Each structure stands twice: as C-alpha cells, then as structure tokens.
Amino acid sequence: MRELWFTAKRTFHAFRIPAAIVEVPVKFRPEEELAPEVAACHTRPMRVRVLLFGPLAEIYGVREESLELPGSPRAEDVYQHYRQRDSRLGQLEKSLHLAVNQVVVGPNHPLAPEDEVALLPPVCGGSDAIAISPPDIIDLLDGPLEAHPWRKHLVNKAGSYGAISTFEGLVRKEDDADPVVALAFDAYRPMALGALRAVAEEARRRWPIQGIVMLHRLGTVPAGEVCVVTAVATGHRGEAFAACKFLIDTLKATVPIWKKEITASRSHWVEGVLLPGAATAEDLVS
C-alpha cells in the first residue's frame, strides 16, 4: 500500500476514490525535520530590556531601550546588535562586560523574554538605601555627601567600640594646565548596590566590625567636593585601618560605577578596570 506523509494529529485519514473508501496510514514528520523556514515562521521575536552606561549611553544616545531578537537569543546577540549599529563599540570589547538581571554572564548565556541586559564598561570606582544590618549605611546619592548625617550615625552606633576609621575621596583638580572642574559619575544602581553589600559582607567576615558606611555620589561632582565615603567602627585601630582600606580598594575595583573627567577644555570617560573573573565582549568575536 502506498504511504502518504502528512503533518497531522490524526492517525488515519479517509480518502474517497471510485467505488471504495480506503484508509491510508498517516505518519508524523518530526518538527525538526521540517524545513527551517517553516519552523521559523512560528517563532516570535523575543523582547529584552537593554541598559547602557557611561560612554555607551553617549555613543547610542539612550540609557535604556527595548530590543527584539529572533529565535533563541544569547547574551552575545545583544552585543553583536550594538556593534553593528556603531563600530566604536569594538574599541571597548576587550573590557566590556555583559550582565543579565544584574549578574555578569558569559557570551553563551541564554536569554528569556523581558530579561534585563546591561552592557558594562570597565568600572572606575569611583536610590534606595540598603542596610546590611542596623549599624550599616550603604547608599548611592545624587546630592552632596557633606550634608549626609553618616558620621553622627556611626558615632552613635560605635559607643564604646574604641575606633572609627574613615576615608573621604574628593574630586581633585590634578592638572594645572587643564584643571579638572568636575567628575560625572554613572552607575548601574541595582547591581552597584548589590556589589557594595557584598563588599561590606566580606569585610565583616574578615574583621570584627560593629558598623559600616559606604556612600558614593552620582551625577556631576564639582572639584573639591566629596564623591565617596567609606568608614568602619571596630574595637581597635588596626582593624579599623585595615577594614576601611579594604572597603575603598574593593569598591573601586568591583562596583559598576563609571566616571567622566570634565576639564576646562574637554571631557572624557576615564578608563577603568575589568570586573574580576568575568568574560568580556572580546570573547564574542575571538
């Protein structure tokens, strides 16, 4: 008996021919054997939310936009999309990271509908406040840090702890020939706050700390004003010095904050450092 192939749900199909009704067996053809163009016509584009920071926001003129990708996209597809839109992105690929839902990922990371994908330049160290525990203050602020009551808070919490060590970073003029008039800071706020919390938690594992302050200012900060504060309260000065240094050094190396240097004659984004242990966009084109 001649066999006919159909893509159908029924096991048998009846055909009327002269003087007889013949039942013809129908076999299924697996979907993967269908022509690729047939399967593709049933696939809808996937929409993701893309975030751009620092120099990338300036290159593309937006900080956030929706992007539709065909098929089953991966993180590298987002990078390739923006690289095709502007070749200048290729100049950053040795130090550019990709994050999905606030976690740095590799190029083959699969995407899901409505994922938040961030293209991250190297961090330069420099809202809602996040408190790890009641004695701690961790925040990203748009206004002057000089007006923040963190010092009084930490002194009140310190009580008889014995030592408070603080670091306050100011915007300095640096070059007399072309003095810096301000620094402009940008950040991936949710991821930056999470990274600050991780730094504080690690400090608590290393030293017997009673209170922590980690504050970073965002936006434009004029020369001479405070842009970052780290402070700790501990029982002894050695622990306080070591913990405070750890906080500021690790903040500058791991927290996704970027800065643009503004001088009297020009402005440029300061080259930062790679996030530790993360793949870069260079892996996408190697």
**Domains delineated in the chain:** 4-40 (no CATH), 46-122+276-285 (3.10.20.30), 137-269 (3.90.1170.40)
Q: What is the pLDDT of residue 139?
A: 92
Cα distance between the two ends of the chain: 55
Q: What is the pLDDT of residue 122?
A: 67
Q: What is the pLDDT of residue 245?
A: 97
Rounded Cα distance, 273 and 266, in Å: 22
Buried-state track 124-139, b at ≥16 Cβ within 10 A, e below 16: bbbeeebebeebbbbb
Q: What is the pLDDT of residue 239?
A: 94
**How large is the angle between the packed helices 237-254 and 189-206, nearest 10 degrees?**
150
Q: What is the pLDDT of residue 150?
A: 87
Q: What is the pLDDT of residue 8?
A: 41
Q: What is the pLDDT of residue 162?
A: 81
The predicted model scores a pTM of: 0.63
Residues 6+ apart with CB under 8 A from 90: 83, 285
pLDDT digits (tens, 9 = 90+) for 183-203: 999 998 889 999 999 999 999
Q: What is the pLDDT of residue 135?
A: 65
Low-confidence residues of the chain: pLDDT under 70: 1-43, 93-95, 122-135, 157-161, 175, 272-286
**Phi, psi angle pair for 77, to nearest 5°:** -65, -35
